[in-house]
Amino acid sequence: MSNKLINETSPYLLQHAHQPVYWYPFSEKVFEIAKNEDKPLIISIGYSTCHWCHVMAHQCFEDKEIAEVMNKYFICVKVDREELPDVDKYYMNALQVLTGHGGWPLNAFVLPTQKAFYALTYLPKLKWLELIEKIHHLYIHEKNKLIEYAENIHQGIKQSELALLENENKKQDLNSHQLESSLNEWKKVFDKEWGGHQYTPKFVMPVNYKFFFNYLQFKEDNEIKEHVKKSLCHIILGGLFDHVGGGFYRYSTDKYWKIPHFEKMLYDNAQMIELLTIYYMSSKEEEIKWIIEKNIQFALRDFLSDENLFYSAWDADSENEEGKFYVWTTDELKTILQHEYKEFAEIFNLHNHFGYWEHDKWVLTINISLFKQNQTEWISKIDQWTQKLFLYRKKRIHPLTDTKIITSWNALMINALTIASIVLKNQSYLKIAENTLSALLNKVLIHSSLYRIYHHSQIKIPAYLDDYAFLIHALITLAKITADTKYLNTAIHLTDQAIEEFYSSSHHLFYYNSPKHFIQQSIELYDDVLPSANAQMISNLLYLSHLNNNQHYQTIAKKVFDRSYHLFYQARHHAASYAQLILNQICCDDLEINIVGKDASDTLSKIYSQIWNMNQIYTTSNNSDFNIFRNRFYPAKTFLYVCRHSTCYEPIEDITNFQLARYIKN
C-alpha cells in the first residue's frame, strides 16, 4: 500500500510513502481537492533527520485507526521543509502567532484558502486522535469560527512582518560609539563560564562569531576576544563535535556543550569549517587546525556524492533510537581499547562522569584542562584511539543520509572549502570546491533558471533567495581566491535574476520566495541557523557594483541596507550579518583592495589574514574587461592598488610594505 508520496524524491516524503495516511505532496491541486470535497487540510511539515518527526510518524501516522480518521475528514499533505522553506515559514509563522514558539514536526490545520486556523507540534497518539476528531466537529458545526480564526492568524502574520519594516523609523546612527553600545548590551547574555549564550538549547550561530572576528580586526575588546576563545574551545572539544568520525551536530541540549541533538547538517558543518578557518588565521592554535581537518575529512567522506555534490544531512536516529550510532557504553570502550582504556577515560571525561548521558551511555567530550597540558601528545593519542572506535562503529547500523542536493547549502560548502584552501595552503580543497561548483551549476542552472533541489537525476523547485545569495557569494569568493574573473560573469547573471525575481521596489527589500512559488510571498530578514539572505545580497551587490560602476546595483544595495540595518540594534544575536555591514561601512568606508597581475592569487594569500573580512577585494591574473582592472594589468608584474571613493593610493609592488591598518578608520 502506498500513497501519493511514492513518486517523490525527498527522503523525508518517501519515509511516509507507505503509511496508511493518504498523503499528498504540497501543490496547488491539493487546495482544489479540499475545496471540492469541502474538507480542511492537515499540512504536516518536517525533515528527514528530525527526531520528533520520526516519533510522531511511528505513533500516529503509521496507526491504522488514526489514518482512517485523517483520511475520512481531512486532505493530508506532507512537506519537506528543506525543499519548500517558504511553506514552512508561512505555517511556522502561524504557529508562532498562536503560541509564541515553534518546532518540528509542524502540523497546521488549514482551510482550502491556504490560511491556517490552528497549528501545533508533536502530539502523542491519543491526544492527536482527540484533536483531529474535535477539529472535524468544529469544521462541520462551527466553520465560520474557524474562518475567523484563520483570518486573524493571517493578519497576525502580516502585521508581524510589517512591524519589522515599520521599525525602520527607529534607526541608529552609523558610528563606532553606537555599535560599541549595542555590543555592550549583547555581552550581558554571554555565558562567561561555558561560552555561547545564557540559554539552552545552544546553537553555535557561526555568523555571530564571524562578526566578532571581524570586529576584533578593527577594535580592541578583550571581553569579546575571551568570549570567542572560550566558546570555540568548549564547542570543538565538547560533545557538539563527533570526535570519532568528525562533524558537528546541530545543537547542544545543555549549557555545557555536552549532550548534543545528534543530527549532522551540511549547512552547520560548512559554516563551522569557515568559522574555525578564520579563527585559525589569527590564533594558530594547533587544536583548531586539527578539528578543521577532521571536519573536512568527515564532509568529504560522508557527505560528498559520486557527482561531486554534497548531501544534506545525517539523521539523529538509527534503529529508532536517537544517538544510538554515536554513543558508547563503558563495556564497549573497555573491550575495544583494553589496557589503554584508563588513559582514554581520563581524557574523555569518563572518570569524572561529565560525559554521561543516560542508560550507561556516554558522549565523548575532551577534558579541556588535561588536554591543554600537552595538546600535541593528546592529539596523537586521540587520533589513534578514535581510529579504533571508528572501525568498530562502522559495523553499526548507520543513520539515514538525506541524499538530496540543496543549492544554497552546497554553496556554503564551496565557500568554506575555498577559504580553507588559502588559509591552510591546501590546493586539494580548492579543487574540490571548483569541482562542486561546476557540478552544481551543471545540475541546477538550466536554461538560465536556477533550481533549489537536485536529487535522483531530477531538478525540482525554483530557487529561493538564499539559493541565489549564497551561490553568488561562493562565486565571488572563488573569483577572489583564484584571481579568475570567469566566476564573476555567472555571479552577475544570477544577481540580475535575483533582482528580477525577488526584489520589492516598494519595500526596498528582497522577498524570500518569488511568484513562481505557490505560497504567499514573505520577507525573511534575520539570521537564523543560516545568515540573512537579504544581508548577503547587500554584500553581493556592493561587491559586484564596483566591477563596472553599476549604479543600479549600488542603489538597490543602499536601499536594502537603509531599510534593514536597524535590525541589529533590535535583536543583536539574530542580526550579526547587518552588524558586519555596519562595521565595514564605519571602518572601511568604501575601501577597495585591487590585486592585478600574474601572481595575484599568491599575493592575496600573503596578505589574506589582514584583509579576509573586507568585502571589496578584487583580483585578476589576466587582462580583464571589467572596468575596475582597466589599465592596471602588466604581464610581467603584479601590483596591489588601495582605493577609496574611486581614488587610488600609489600602487604597491612589494607587498611587505602593505599594512591595512594605515587605511582603516577607527
Are 76 and 26 within 8 A, CB to CB? no
407/364 same-domain check: no
312/365 same-domain check: no
CA distances from residue 30 to 78, 104, 263, 323, 540 in whole angstroms, order as listed? 11, 22, 31, 36, 38
Distance CA 2, CA 19 (A): 7
CATH number at residue 77: 3.40.30.10
Amino acid of residue 209: Y
Residues in contact with 424: Cβ distance below 8 Å, sequence separation at least 6, in sequence order: 277, 280, 289, 292, 293
422/361 same-domain check: no
Are 444 and 436 within 8 A, CB to CB? no
Q: What is the largest CA-CA distance in the chain?
A: 83
Residues 22-79: tens digit of each pLDDT: 999 999 999 999 999 999 999 999 999 888 999 999 999 999 999 999 999 999 999 9
User: Is the pLDDT assigned to residue 166 strictly greater than 80?
Assistant: no
State the pTM of this model. Answer: 0.95
What number is the average pLDDT over the span 277-286?
A: 96
60/155 same-domain check: yes
Work out the mean pLDDT of the chain and round it to a whole number. 94
498/582 same-domain check: yes
Distance CA 62, CA 411 (A): 36
502/367 same-domain check: no
User: Where does the pLDDT of residue 172 fall: very low under 50, low under 70, confident under 90, or very high at 90 and above?
Assistant: low
562/493 same-domain check: yes
204/353 same-domain check: no
| Domain's final residue, options 353, 372, 395 | 395
306/357 same-domain check: no
Are 490 and 438 within 8 A, CB to CB? no
292/424 same-domain check: yes
> What is the count of structural domains for the chain?
4
User: Where does the pLDDT of residue 162 fall: very low under 50, low under 70, confident under 90, or very high at 90 and above?
Assistant: low
Are 629 and 641 within 8 A, CB to CB? no
CA distances from residue 643 to 217, 566, 596, 654 in whole angstroms, order as listed? 19, 28, 13, 17
410/525 same-domain check: yes
| Domain's final residue, options 367, 395, 423 | 395
| Domain's final residue, options 143, 167, 191 | 167
Distance CA 66, CA 83 (A): 27
343/261 same-domain check: no
User: Is the pLDDT assigned to residue 124 strictly greater than 90?
Assistant: yes
CATH number at residue 521: 1.50.10.10
pLDDT for 171: 59
Neighbours of 394 (CB within 10 A): 9
Residues 213-258: tens digit of each pLDDT: 999 999 999 999 999 999 999 999 999 999 999 999 999 999 999 9
User: Where does the pLDDT of residue 635 fall: very low under 50, low under 70, confident under 90, or very high at 90 and above?
Assistant: confident
Structural domain of 297 = 176-320+402-587
